[in-house]
Structure 1
Amino acid sequence: ALARGGRTNDEIEDFSRGKSRRYQPLLGSGTGGSSSIYGMICERFFPGDVTPRQYFRNPGESTVPDEWPITYEEMRPWYAAAEKLLGVRGQRDPLRPQLAEESLPAAPPFSSANQVLVDYLNGRGLHPYHVPMACDYVDGCATCQSYLCDRSCKNDSARNCVLPAITEHGAHLLTECRVVGLDADSSTVRKVKCESLDGPVSLTGKVVALAAGALISPVLLLNSRSGDWPRGLANGSDLVGRNLMRHLVDLIEVWPERGFKTMAPNKEIGLNDFYFMDGQKYGTIQSFGPMPPVELLTNGPGLGKKAMHLVDPVVRLVYERFFNGGLVLAAMMEDLPYMDNRVLPFDGASTDGRQRLRMHYRIQPNEIERRAVFMKQIKSVTKPFRKLNLRGAQDNRALAHVCGTCRFGADPKTSVLDPQNRAHEVDNLYVVDTSYFPSSAGLNPSLTVGANALRVAAHINEAHFPT
């Protein structure tokens, strides 16, 4: 059922707090990867996001770098190309006037429900805008996230990249085929090992581009041990799987007016007035969309499933009456990389064909302090409204923006990949998902990972296929 809905059925064992917990993350899977169920927000990072360390007064033991190995100016043309490829529509952030000359196609106007909040924020001297979305907004568009789009208005990797590659450029797609490891000698990947419904499959190629996501890509490398690679492929630095980041996200549901109630799609507002404050970085505030179904609140791990199931009808009535119908905002804050926050292969063998992995992620004092300041600002802004705070930053199941586990950099001792996303120690291996992020920034990663993939593709074409 999960696979039919575009979700992964992989399982995570979280050992962050002593006793391990198992759960299935809310991540997309299948053709196009996790973008099949993403929320479509596609926004450029700030220039300061690629010179991150200066914006954190007390980074502690974080490995957040002084700067990325590429500049923001190097990314600008690739951002523009990715916006065009994904059909991004919306407004530019008014706090970044340098982007005004690179306008985007317009999104539909704010809904009446959102306009109330936009007018209030403008009245407070803040700068709300229509967040850029990779969406075609066909009639009846629900700006869907966490599930597959049935109206062909979500511009994702499958629709905008994989399908044209197959129909126009001769690419081949192997369905229901799982990569389980890479065979390599001391400098070159020789074979990609797969398992399909028909049995084992081996693939060879001049270049191998790995884009299985920041959870699975490092696990594949760690599982690809050999005499040449006793700690895992491309892991001479012992950094593969480390420096895991995922963003810290809290939800705030607000009712801007007495008697306000909306169930309409409302993923529209962006606000970055608190992204930088007093020399520190925090994060963004954006529309989350409608509240999740009550089942997601009553059936999660650690909530006493049996007891909650008994009161489901009561919970549903209370939920629908008092806790639904508002505008849900996501307060998304940048988290920092740490060596001990990591992903690892699962110790035991799989008996049902599912991928399993182990994860350790704990919020550190720097994040706790910044989150308190960030949430205080949001509380002040939303003070006039009835609201409901759903604290989710501590929830390790929130992995939609997971990144950092194969960071890029100039020094092979402190990074896995070089500035072109090629593994330092493997001549023909590239990792092009969010694993490469050396810091997480405070915005959605979708556009940046897409823009960087175009940048790396141009390099691969020039370096490996010059004719």
Structure 2
Amino acid sequence: MGRQDSGPHGSGRQDFDAVVIGTGAGGAPLLARLAQAGLRVLALEAGEAHPPEAMPTDERAQAGLFWRDERLSAGANPLPFGNNNSGCGVGGSTLHYTAYVPRPQPDDFHLRRTFGVGEDWPLAFSKLEGYFDELEGFLGVSGPATYPWGPPRRQGYAHPPLPLNGAAQLMQRGAEAVGLRTSPAPNAALSRPQEQEGYGLRPACTNRGFCQAGCSVGAKASMDVTFLPLATRHGAEIRAGCFVTDLERRGDRVTGVVYRQGGQERRVRAGAVFLAAGAIETPRLLLRLGLANSSGQVGRNFMAHVGTQLWGQVEEEVRPHKGIPGALISEDTHRPEGADFAGGYLVQSIGVMPVTYASQFARGTGTWGAALTSHMRGYRHTAGINVLGDCLPQPGNFLELSDEPDGRGLPKPRIHFSWGENERRMNAHATRLMTDLWTAAGASGLWTLERSAHVIGTARMGRDPRRSVVRPDGRAHDLENLYISDNSTFPSALSVNPALTIMALSLRTADGFLAARRKGESACDRGALEQT
């Protein structure tokens, strides 16, 4: 903890080498890395702590894990933000993610070079490969001995794959019939116990299946049982219930962070600030403060994965709430032969909790009342698959500040989102494939839920400060000591779930920052802090 100092508004004021805003996949890894290097670091989290033992097997209780402040949606394919996938709590969105952690493939990073559309990343897959290796070991990723897609691995997964649940077994059967290869999926959940530095023994997954409601045993590698205990063991401080409202500046430097906690305004001074609040709250703060936006790209280039689901019912009992939700994967569709679209997608089996499924079926089919009740009698025989596909940045997809205030008196964000022709073609291709596969698996009464998944790309990285918000190392072009470390920096959506890549970028940003600091090139050295 830093030195106490008197400050305005009757609050204590402290000095830290670095302040991290957000404790999810983007904030927690770098917090741990900086603390391990001996820096005085503080993390501010808007939500509260949710220890594993407090996670009930109850979908309604999971509401506290999600960001509940209202967000406004617009566009032809507006995102349903009533239950958005941003997290709220110590651990961020990893508290309720399903632990699906496939790696991106090398060609994901250069869509424009390959297809002439989209945006290339300013760094190659090789720059992140070592971090993927490190993360898969540290998190305890369970997966197959040999993964069929992508470049050869320098090391295998830390643990054997988790058991295939009912939906995964059906997908395996249907995929074999249509000639699609499958593999047990890489999941950041333990198939056998693992000792976790700073936390203790994490037990193996119990196949409870309520991963999106929070893991009750600590088997899932959320940040609260992995990187955050490691960070606090090395001296980091985490403050929950802290909503950041302002960044104090002097010239091209951030000098402090202002936040509200328990109804009081507080301040800390910071040698450097790492903004890891996600692809909505990060640009929302920057737009409100008028920061890091000389390019005009803050809030632009919003993307969300094509994530259409296909559901059906079979004669055998599936029990769709049991087991790790995404147990089986196929990446044969990464670059489909003869496709009329750029990029690609993966196919995965999905588990689902009963209330979630009921709301999806009602929303997707317009079925309510007695008809919905009748359909839900077949819940235990229900199974689903879905795709996770790339998304191109479009000028019409962006985040802006609305003129409608939230409960804090701050403008609510409004997100404009519409599928482009590329997303529509990819979705049509994927829906045909899933229909053939699920029919071959013996499912009937098929219905689709067209949807988008994840929020990506509103403060993208790049080498040209006229077209991007941050450099490849995550540092803002406009400010010497402000870094962004979350999914807002992605130049393209990638054709896999984002969590593993967010963590890899987080560690890379921390390592780059520490290397520059050691060379005396960083703007966050102790002498600079004392001048604020």
* Structure-1-length-normalised TM-score: 0.86
Aligned to 1:185: 250
Question: For the structure 1 residues 174 and 332, does the alpha-carbon distance in structure 2 shift closer, same or farther, using more than 3 Å as the test?
Answer: same
Q: How many residues align?
A: 441
Inter-partner Cα distance in structure 1 for 2:217 and 2:74: 40
What residue number does 2:377 align with? 320
Specify the SS of the correspondent of 2:152. helix
SS at match of 2:123: coil
Contact 1:7–1:28 (CA<8 Å) still a contact in 2? Answer: yes
The Cα of 1:339 is off from its aligned counterpart by 2.5
Q: Which has the higher strand share?
A: 2
Separation in 2, partners of 1:53, 1:449: 21
Deviation at 1:9, TM superposition (A): 1.0
Distance in 2, Cα, partners of 1:239 & 1:253: 38
Greater alpha carbon shift after TM alignment, 280-289 vs 423-432 = 280-289
CA RMSD of aligned residues (A): 2.9
Equivalent in 209, 220, 238 of residue 173 of structure 1 = 238
d(CA) in 2 for partners of 1:96, 1:267 = 19
Q: Distance in 1 between matches of 2:79 and 2:437?
A: 38
Residues 254-297 of structure 1, C-alpha deviation per residue, up to 9 Å, x if partnerless?
45x64443343253100111110237422011122125525534
Residue 111 of structure 1 deviates from its aligned partner by: 4.3
Q: Check 1:298–1:368 CA distance in 2 against 1; reply closer, same or farther (3 A cut).
A: closer
Secondary structure (helix, strand or coil) at the match of 1:458 reads helix
Do the aligned residues in 1 keep the contact of 2:259 with 2:267 (CA within 8 Å)?
yes
Per the TM alignment, residue 74 of structure 1 is displaced from its structure 2 partner at its CA by: 1.1
Inter-CA distance 251–116: structure 2 relative to 1 (3 Å threshold): closer
The one-letter code of the counterpart of 1:212 is A
Q: Give the whole-Å Cα distance in 1 for the aligned partners of 2:362 and 2:67.
A: 18
Deviation per CA, 1:79-134: give whole Å up to 9, x if none.
11121221111125313352375444212343466335424424544221111111
Which runs of structure 2 are paired with 1:226-375 in the superposition (5 Å)? 232-255=290-313, 258-263=315-320, 264-265=322-323, 266-278=325-337, 280-290=342-352, 292-293=354-355, 294-297=357-360, 308=368, 311=369, 314-321=371-378, 324-351=380-407, 356-375=412-431
Does the C-alpha gap of structure 1 residues 131 and 454 become closer, same or farther in structure 2, counting only changes over 3 Å? same
| Within-5 A mapping of 1:69-88 | 69-88=122-141
Distance 1:146 1:216 in 2: 21
Counterparts of 1:41-440 in structure 2, within 5 Å, are 41-56=100-115, 59=117, 64-65=118-119, 67-91=120-144, 92-96=146-150, 98-99=152-153, 101-111=155-165, 114-122=168-176, 124-137=178-191, 138=204, 140-166=206-232, 168-224=233-289, 232-255=290-313, 258-263=315-320, 264-265=322-323, 266-278=325-337, 280-290=342-352, 292-293=354-355, 294-297=357-360, 308=368, 311=369, 314-321=371-378, 324-351=380-407, 356-384=412-440, 385-387=442-444, 389-393=446-450, 395=451, 398-399=452-453, 401-440=454-493
SS of the aligned residue for 2:72 comes to strand
Counterpart of 2:526?
A: none
Give the letter aligned to residue 84 of structure 1: G
1:146-192 CA distances to partner (integer Å, 9 max, x unpaired)? Answer: 312212211111221112211x1111111111011222234111221
Letter of the 1:366 counterpart: N
Hey, which of these two has a bigger chunk of helix by percent? Answer: 2
- Please report how far the alpha carbon of residue 242 of structure 1 lies from its aligned counterpart in structure 2 after TM superposition: 0.7
Q: Distance in 2 between matches of 1:119 and 1:390?
A: 19
Rate the CA distance shift 1:146–1:55 in 2: closer, same or farther, 3 A: farther
Change (3 A) 1:390 1:379: closer
User: TM (normalized to structure 2)?
Assistant: 0.76
CA contact (8 A) 1:86 1:134 kept: yes
Contact map agreement 2:398 2:417 (CA 8 A) in 1: yes
**Given residue 140 of structure 1, which amino acid in structure 2 is its aligned partner?**
T
Contact kept? 2:141, 2:157, Cα under 8 Å: no
Q: Please, which moves more after superposition, 107-116 or 266-275?
A: 107-116
- Shift of the 144–206 alpha-carbon distance from structure 1 to 2, 3 Å rule, reads same
Q: Answer yes or no: is the 8 Å Cα contact 2:312–2:447 preserved in 1.
A: no
For 1:8, the aligned partner's letter is: W
Shift of residue 372, structure 1, vs aligned partner? 1.4
2: CA distance, partners of 1:19 / 1:404: 16
Cα separation, 1, equivalents of 2:81 and 2:99: 28
AA aligned opposite 1:365: E
Following superposition, the deviation at residue 33 of structure 1 comes to 0.9
Instruction: Give, in whole Å, the separation in 1 of the partners of 2:495 and 2:78.
Output: 30
Return closer, same or farther for 1:390/1:445 CA change in 2, 3 Å cut-off: farther
Secondary structure of 1:267 counterpart = coil
d(CA) in 2 for partners of 1:428 and 1:131?
38
Question: Match for 2:332: what amino acid?
Answer: D
Q: Is the 8 A contact 1:38 1:146 kept in 2?
A: yes
SS in 1 for 2:347: strand
Q: Say whether the 8 Å CA contact 2:302–2:399 is kept in structure 1.
A: yes
Change beyond 3 A, Cα 1:369–1:134: same
- Any idea what SS the aligned residue of 2:238 has? coil
Q: Deviations over 1:206-255 (max 9, x none)?
A: 1100000101000011111xxxxxxx200000000110111011111245
Query: In structure 2, do the counterparts of structure 1 residues 13 and 389 end up closer, same or farther at CA, with 3 Å as the change threshold?
Result: farther
Aligned partners of 1:442, 1:353: CA distance in 2, in Å? 37
CA distance in 1, matches of 2:255, 2:503: 27
Identity of matched residues, %: 25
Aligned residues of 1:11 and 1:25 also touching (Cα < 8 A): no
Alpha-carbon contact 2:167-2:385 (below 8 Å) kept: no
CA distance in 1, matches of 2:101, 2:228: 18
- 8 Å contact from structure 2 (residues 101, 500) kept in 1: yes
Judged with a 3 Å threshold, the aligned counterparts in structure 2 of structure 1 residues 388 and 456 are, in CA distance, closer, same or farther, namely: farther
CA deviation digits over 1:311-370, x for unaligned, max 9? 2x552232222x552332111211111122111223233345788311111111121122
